[in-house]
Structure formats: structure tokens, C-alpha cells
């Protein structure tokens, strides 16, 4: 009973905060005409939103190493929708590359579109050049481009193979790729993170979110790579980054 009450209250406050920050972004982006000032406002708003969401959801974040500088090209493993909260607290002014179906999600899809998310349909190879162009433009404008190269969420017990095509912009622009690996844990008295946090079963987003909304605290660790990686082609870059992230990886239990 207490878990359900917690879930309902968190849902209410999370929805209220999400709408408030979104309206703040719409009003601010309309009033602030200078591009540099609008970018700084966006950065502050997204970092502030990440902190609010973490407090509401009971997320306790621990950093191991140093977060990447901004702007940058940054990748991380992907196991949960909570990765978005971790991202807002880690990378300054991110532009996220997300799967195309997120764009059709109620409310969240609209918000994600308006803050500049780059959507990609990985089943359409002909869409990759346009996505790569958008990623290049975002980096050139000073944003940090963030990608989850596994292209899907998993149980968190293994690192899934990285997809190479979207590393092409990093190769074209000759920019190094920063990397990290995230790990989730619940309290000993709670069900394990593989049942509460990770999103790998055939379940809806609402069902997945309801699991962690009812959990008192979720402990998150983000381990950062010491040096970014560059390579001459996207396949080599994907292989090297896979090996580097594997070195930081800890199976979620």
C-alpha cells in the first residue's frame, strides 16, 4: 500500500515538474533571441530539471572519475529510462540521439522533439546520412551529442554490441568520443535493480516506470573513461569503444 502511495505522489510531482520545465523552456526560448544566451539558458534548465527529477525519484548519483567537458561526443551503456535523468546530471547541454518511436510517445515525445532530440529509425539505412548531418550540426553549434550505441535497453548483465553507423560523424569531424558506464542498485530490502530499474522485458513504458516510481531509493554509479577515443573509421571506433566501456562495466544484479 505504501509503495503505491509513493508511486502516485511521485507521478504527480514528476508530471508537474516536467510540464513546468517544458513551459519554462518554451517561454524562455521565445523571449531569448540571442543564440548563445538561449544555449546557456537551455543548459541551466536541463541541469536543474535533472536535479529535480532525481530528487523526486529518489535517485542517488555517484560519480567515479571526471565527467566529460562540453561540447563533446559522449556515449554510455543503456539499460533504463532512468538513464535520461543520469544524463541530465552528467553532460552539459546534451542533444540526445534516440530511437524514432520515442517521438510518438504522449507528452514525452513532444517535449523531446522541442528540446532538439535527434530521432533515428535504425531499420532505415537511408535515414542515416540525415541523422549524421544533424549530429554534426549539433556539435558544430556547441552542443554535446549523446548516443547509446547499444541501440536498445537490456537487462544490464552484459554489454550489448555497439552499432557502428552513427559513429560516422565523430570520424568525419575528427573529434574524440568520451565514454562512460552506468550501474544501478536498489536497497537490500528491495527487489533487485534487474526487476525494478532495467527495461528488458516485454513491458510498456508505463509499466516499467511504475516499478521504479514505487521504489524508495535507486543508487546510480557512473564510471567515466579517463581518455576519449578516436579512430580512422566508424567500425574501428565502435570496436575500441566497446572494449573501453567493457573495461568499466559491472553487471547489474
Write out the three cell numbers for 159: 554489454
Q: Is the residue at 195 inside a domain?
A: yes
In a domain, 190, yes or no: yes
For the chain, 253 residues long, give each residue's pLDDT as a single digit of tens: 888 999 999 999 999 999 999 999 999 999 999 989 999 999 999 999 999 999 999 999 999 999 988 889 999 999 999 999 999 999 999 999 988 888 888 888 888 999 999 998 876 767 777 888 888 889 888 899 999 999 889 899 999 999 998 898 888 888 999 999 999 999 999 999 999 999 998 888 889 999 999 999 999 999 999 999 999 899 999 999 999 999 999 999 8
Tell me whether residue 81 is in a domain. yes
Q: Which three cell numbers stand for residue 58?
A: 529518489
Q: Is the dihedral of CA 85, 41, 48, 222 positive or negative?
A: positive
For residue 230, tell me if it sits in a domain: yes
Is 41 within the bounds of a domain?
A: no
Give a yes or no: residue 63 inside a domain. Answer: yes
Q: Domain containing 232: what range? A: 59-248
User: What does the alpha-carbon distance between residue 58 and residue 214 come to, in Å, rounded to a whole number?
Assistant: 10
Is 112 within a domain? yes
In SS3 terms, 22-52 reads as: HHHHHHHHHHCCCHHHHHHHHHHHHHHHHHH
Within a domain: 68:
yes
Helix H segments across 141-232?
Answer: 168-173, 193-196, 205-213
Number of domains in the chain: 1
C-alpha span between 109 and 205 (Å, rounded):
12
Amino acid at each position: 500500500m505504501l509503495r503505491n502511495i509513493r508511486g502516485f505522489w511521485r507521478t504527480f510531482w514528476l508530471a508537474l515538474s516536467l510540464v513546468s520545465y517544458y513551459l519554462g523552456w518554451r517561454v524562455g526560448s521565445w523571449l531569448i533571441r540571442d543564440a548563445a544566451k538561449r544555449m546557456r539558458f537551455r543548459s541551466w534548465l536541463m541541469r536543474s530539471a535533472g536535479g529535480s527529477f532525481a530528487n523526486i525519484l529518489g535517485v542517488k548519483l555517484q560519480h567515479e572519475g571526471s565527467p566529460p567537458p562540453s561540447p563533446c561526443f559522449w556515449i554510455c551503456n543503456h539499460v533504463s529510462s532512468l538513464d535520461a535523468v543520469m544524463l541530465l546530471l552528467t553532460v552539459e547541454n546534451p542533444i540526445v540521439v534516440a530511437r524514432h518511436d520515442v517521438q510518438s510517445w504522449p507528452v514525452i515525445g513532444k517535449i523531446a522533439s522541442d528540446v532538439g532530440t535527434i530521432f533515428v529509425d535504425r531499420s532505415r539505412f537511408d535515414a542515416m546520412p540525415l541523422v549524421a548531418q544533424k549530429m554534426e550540426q549539433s556539435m558544430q553549434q556547441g552542443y554535446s551529442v549523446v548516443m547509446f550505441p547499444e541501440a536498445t535497453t537490456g537487462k544490464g548483465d552484459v554489454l550489448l554490441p555497439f552499432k557502428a553507423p552513427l559513429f560516422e560523424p565523430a570520424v568525419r569531424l575528427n573529434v574524440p568520443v568520451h565514454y562512460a558506464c552506468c550501474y544501478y542498485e536498489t536497497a537490500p530490502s528491495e527487489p533487485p535493480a534487474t526487476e525494478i530499474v532495467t527495461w528488458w522485458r516485454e513491458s510498456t513504458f508505463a509499466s516499467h516506470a511504475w516499478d521504479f516510481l514505487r521504489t524508495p531509493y535507486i543508487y546510480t554509479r557512473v564510471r567515466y573513461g579517463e581518455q576519449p577515443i578516436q579512430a580512422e573509421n566508424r567500425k574501428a571506433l565502435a570496436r575500441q569503444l566497446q572494449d573501453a566501456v567493457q573495461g568499466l562495466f559491472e553487471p547489474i544484479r
